[in-house]
Structure 1
Amino acid sequence: MHSSLSRVLLLNSNRNLLNQPALLVAIRHTSAGPPPATPAKEGSLTYKYEKFIGKWPKVLALHRTVLEGSRWCFADVKMYFKTRRAVASGQKKMSDLTVEELETLVQSGGELFKMLTLIVILQIPGPGDILILMLIFFPRLVLTRHFWSDEQRREFFQLEVTKALISGEQLLNTFGSPSSADENKLKPLDKLDSSEMLLVHGMHSMYPLPGSKTRILKRMEALRALDNILPAAIDGFNERQLIFNCYIRKIDIGKKSSTEMRDSLRQYVKFTSRMPNNVYLYASPLFKQK
């Protein structure tokens, strides 16, 4: 019953989301969290079901995590494709996009692949119980940030940042460990050999699939556009948003407070603001070594 009900609730949530004003939708999801849910009406099937499983608080908490994560994941995927179409058609320029729109474009290939897979799974009868098992046993390997707790999000993002920075440092070492000022030693993307490209993929948390060079360039373009508007928006970010924005730039999160993460992001934007693209490609390991 849980699985079927999960699909009903997800569909209802998506319908409510689509009926909201576009501005409110943009503000209320992506890095800030899921779009708001409509409370179940008293006497409805949803209300009765949640009242029944409420006898087991942990089961109810997992159930709601699946529903909330599903709504959030759907909202991100919807915004990603809507934004990408708007840019590709010329309807919008990168400089016209909001923080929320840009955040969806800079997601890593691995994360986007998982999101699309989960959206497909959610359309099949019976995913709810499977997702609950994934939440318990394999949250990092199978699920995305939409289904993680804030503590897991910090922990899992830091693991990815550490792996990316190791790849970045190894790549810089192949060039003789240049600084950001040694522009001529830092190869542009189209001049890298196959072994160097593998390290670039690791540095950007991207899968080495066909067309990945184009995706990396597009990701850099969106990230630079996000860097340009970050200073005006960062004071309004909560801790969840700060963690996400450190993660996409591969800035160490560790046990930093909100103030420390905010300072790191400001320093990163200042440090990278004058970098040409062939240098910005290596921004994260260069920022760490500065």
Structure 2
Amino acid sequence: MSLLLGWRGCVRHARQLRLGHYGVPVPAASLYRALRPPEPPPALRLRHPAYQFSAKTNSKNVLSAIVSKIRLMNKKYERFLERTFPRFYQLYSTFLKGFQVFISEFKEIRRIKANMSHKNIQVHQLPYREMERLRQFRRDLIKAIPVGILSIPPFANYLVFLLMYLFPRQLLIRHFWTPKQHAEFLDTYHNMRKEAYTEVIDGLIQMSQLVADPKLQKQMLDLCKKVQKGVHPDISELKAVRMLFVAHPFGIQQLKVQQVKILSRVLFLTPRLPSALLRYRLRSHLSELYQLDQAMLKLGTGELSDNEVQVACYTRGLNSVHLHPLACRTWLNQWLALSSSLNDSETSLLAHSMVLLSTNFTFSSNH
């Protein structure tokens, strides 16, 4: 027993070494670990780059497959509609394309607005196409807002869809018209404003009696009577009386309220407003038209497509829906020849020229 105890004591004594100045005992196992040479680091396991993106690639493949499947199903559905319900398919495809064009145009308007804000420029400083796009979009938005408000109540959208189907001209914007509807509705709108053309000329004849200068009075009366007889006037005849449209009696601020209402119908503006607001709207629209003309002159009519020329002529009073593109360009050049010679204070002549230059225009008479 004593030998066993002595052996254990020796072992304990051997395991307790004294290190340092203070002789702190250190266990032998700890000393062994401290003095053991370091093991080499484990070899790095590199993965092939393809494996790093495998999950992402797989998700993209799945998403692409789903999108392809949806497109295939959509094409089958469209073919089914085209075969079974051709009339409904035409409305469906027109609405779908119109919605895509509207979204694209909305993005373009946002880009134009952001560019204006970034460069700190006004609308009249924009290029012609951007100015025209803003003008068209504003008119479309004014027409679409009431329809959007009607769709807010629960289940009211079903009624709105029915109304849009029954009254597409009144409720739908141009993006959702079929090509046939587009030509038909533009004809309808022009016939509505054309009803005011005779009243505009009659009003000019009545106001000509107030002109003090006998020579100018005669020139104005001759111009009106020439149009009444079915003759297309020359641009020089309009330029000869331009000074009458600055102040009394033909200036915008001096026009009779009845004449302002008639001209508002020519520009597709509602005449059912207070006279002050009516005059302000007419003046602002004519000023915008004048600025568009200046921007178009900078661009040049040769840079415009046939469709752009047709739209420009229609906006300025001519029914260009069924006119040959060359006839539209001829008329537009005549209009710009007049507009370029005017000042901003003479825009009243532009409003009356929408009637004077478009009433009897034929391509043969000016070619």
TM-score normalized by the length of structure 1: 0.68
Encode CA deviations 1:180-234: one digit per residue, 9 max, x unaligned: 3334266222223332222121011012346343333232222222212335353
CA contact (8 A) 1:50 1:60 kept: no
Match among 51, 57, 63 for residue 76 of structure 2: 51
Instruction: Name the residue aligned to 1:25.
Output: none
Task: Note the residue ranges of structure 2 that are not aligned, 5 or more in a row.
Answer: 1-65, 209-219, 224-237, 361-367
Instruction: Name the residue aligned to 2:331.
Output: 264
Deviation at 1:113, TM superposition (A): 2.5
For the structure 1 residues 109 and 97, does the alpha-carbon distance in structure 2 shift closer, same or farther, using more than 3 Å as the test? Answer: closer
For the structure 1 residues 165 and 139, does the alpha-carbon distance in structure 2 shift closer, same or farther, using more than 3 Å as the test? Answer: same
CA contact (8 A) 2:144 2:171 kept: no
Mapped to 1, the partners of 2:118 and 2:267 lie a distance apart of: 26
Encode CA deviations 1:147-204: one digit per residue, 9 max, x unaligned: 1233332332233233324324312311207443334266222223332222121011
CA contact (8 A) 2:95 2:176 kept: yes
Instruction: Indicate yes or no: 2:100 matched with 1:100.
Output: no
Matched to 2:266, the amino acid is M
Mapped to 1, the partners of 2:140 and 2:188 lie a distance apart of: 14
Mapped to 1, the partners of 2:99 and 2:192 lie a distance apart of: 27
Q: Which has the larger radius of gyration?
A: 2
Deviation at 1:96, TM superposition (A): 2.2
Query: Within 5 Å, which residues of 2 pair with 1:215-254?
Result: 215-231=281-297, 232-254=299-321
Instruction: Name the residue aligned to 1:188.
Output: 251
CA contact (8 A) 1:108 1:206 kept: no
Deviation at 1:55, TM superposition (A): 0.3
Identity, in percent, stands at 18
TM-score normalized by the length of structure 2: 0.55
Task: Note the residue ranges of structure 1 that are not aligned, 5 or more in a row.
Answer: 1-39
Root-mean-square deviation (CA), in Å? 3.8
CA contact (8 A) 1:106 1:219 kept: no
**SS across alignment from 2:270:** coil
**Larger RCO of the pair (alpha carbons < 8 Å, separation 6+):** 1
Matched to 2:309, the amino acid is L
Match among 161, 164, 169 for residue 190 of structure 2: 161
CA contact (8 A) 2:101 2:175 kept: yes
Matched to 1:286, the amino acid is L
For the structure 1 residues 253 and 194, does the alpha-carbon distance in structure 2 shift closer, same or farther, using more than 3 Å as the test? Answer: same
Instruction: Name the residue aligned to 2:164.
Output: 134
For the structure 1 residues 288 and 52, does the alpha-carbon distance in structure 2 shift closer, same or farther, using more than 3 Å as the test? Answer: closer
CA contact (8 A) 1:164 1:205 kept: yes
Mapped to 2, the partners of 1:195 and 1:75 lie a distance apart of: 41
**SS across alignment from 2:319:** coil
| Number of residue pairs the alignment of both structures matches | 249
Mapped to 2, the partners of 1:220 and 1:271 lie a distance apart of: 14
Instruction: Name the residue aligned to 1:42.
Output: 68
For the structure 1 residues 150 and 79, does the alpha-carbon distance in structure 2 shift closer, same or farther, using more than 3 Å as the test? Answer: same
For the structure 1 residues 99 and 152, does the alpha-carbon distance in structure 2 shift closer, same or farther, using more than 3 Å as the test? Answer: farther
CA contact (8 A) 1:165 1:203 kept: yes
CA contact (8 A) 2:174 2:182 kept: yes
Mapped to 2, the partners of 1:236 and 1:152 lie a distance apart of: 28
Instruction: Indicate yes or no: 2:347 matched with 1:277.
Output: yes
Instruction: Name the residue aligned to 2:11.
Output: none
CA contact (8 A) 1:134 1:143 kept: yes
Matched to 1:279, the amino acid is L
